[in-house]
Structure 1
Amino acid sequence: MILYTPLTQEEIFPEEENTNREYITYEGRSICVDKTAEGRYQLVQLLSTDPQDFLDDKFTPGRILP
């Protein structure tokens, strides 16, 4: 793969991992979340093939899950 960009390879493909990131099922849908310092989950990404899921306000990125 050839990338035509002024960025370095390390900026495009960082080696560090986000250890707080988890993949869970919430209300029957797979989502990617970050665990906050308070122990709650913040939605990062909805992983779905159904376009209707993305119209649901419950799956807005940045939302804190109850």
Structure 2
Amino acid sequence: MILYTPMSPAEIFPHDTNTLASRQFIVYQGRNMYVEQRGDGSYQLLQLLSTDPQDFLNDTFTPGTILSS
């Protein structure tokens, strides 16, 4: 089987199911994102899902950024 995906093998075949349970897709400031919920209730940006190239030039949406509600 061949998978054509931008996701890493660790995300497709996780070793720990608890890690995937804390990850979700959200809309933040009008942009779709793949995030991981942290213990304090904030979210860490894992991947920005956008078709607008300008979104990727915005430092607010850099992977690893902590998003607060």
TM-score bucket (shorter structure): 0.7 to 0.9
Q: TM-score, normalised by structure 1?
A: 0.75
**Structure 2: tracts of 5 or more residues without a match:** 3-8
Q: Which has the larger radius of gyration?
A: 1
**Structure 1: tracts of 5 or more residues without a match:** 3-9
Bigger helix share: 2
Q: TM-score, normalised by structure 2?
A: 0.72
- What amino acid maps onto 2:60 in structure 1? K
Report sequence identity in percent.
Answer: 52
Aligned residues: 60
CA root-mean-square deviation: 2.6
Q: What stretches of structure 1 move > 4 A for 4+ residues in a row? A: none
